[in-house]
Structure 1
């Protein structure tokens, strides 16, 4: 069974996780797209909510959400990005068992 899983496993693509074993805030990004391709949106969301929502944001940016983002003050955008990455890192650390939640 493990040989079958390895055929579809892209391996660890994150350099931080490959070198240290600690996941980065965007770990799970590849898994998001694999799960979406397999029609498992809930699994994609659980792998990395930030990557999934970011991909949706990029896809919908031409429809108007991009203008609203760039209209924000640069300090507010930086704060939103920082807080989002911090929360994402906590999510990934919990997902990989580094934090008991």
Structure 2
């Protein structure tokens, strides 16, 4: 994953593709996963704090996927389906609120 992050940062530096999220490009409203690409670009560029600010949920998800083979995955699947759905739903709602605030669309 680290190699992919460095590669994405290098490619992005050479050719900035702009907004990649179709929902945000069309409506201006970010999806809960907006900033996911920025997480990897910032992390690969050696700026972990900016990666966290781009989308903490996407970063946490990437870390969870990376750690899944070390036993975290079995702990996740041991949870009741309803609990897993609640955790994912809460994470997505929190991520959407984060994105709306980050992009100035949510006035708090």
Same fold (TM over 0.5): yes
Deviation of 1:8 (Å)? 4.5
Matches within 5 A, 1:1-101: 8-101=15-108
Secondary structure of 2:96 counterpart = helix
Query: What is the deviation of 1:55?
Result: 0.3
- Partner SS, residue 18 of structure 1: helix
How big is the shift at 1:7? 5.2
Distance 1:76 1:57 in 2: 17
CA distance in 1, matches of 2:56, 2:15: 22
TM-score where L is the length of structure 2: 0.85
Tell me the SS of whatever aligns to 1:68: helix
Unaligned runs of 5+ in 1: 1-5
Gaps of 5+ in 2: 1-12
Instruction: Give the alignment's TM-score, normalised by structure 1.
Output: 0.90
What is the number of equivalent residue pairs in this alignment? 96
**Misfit runs of 4+, over 6 Å:** none
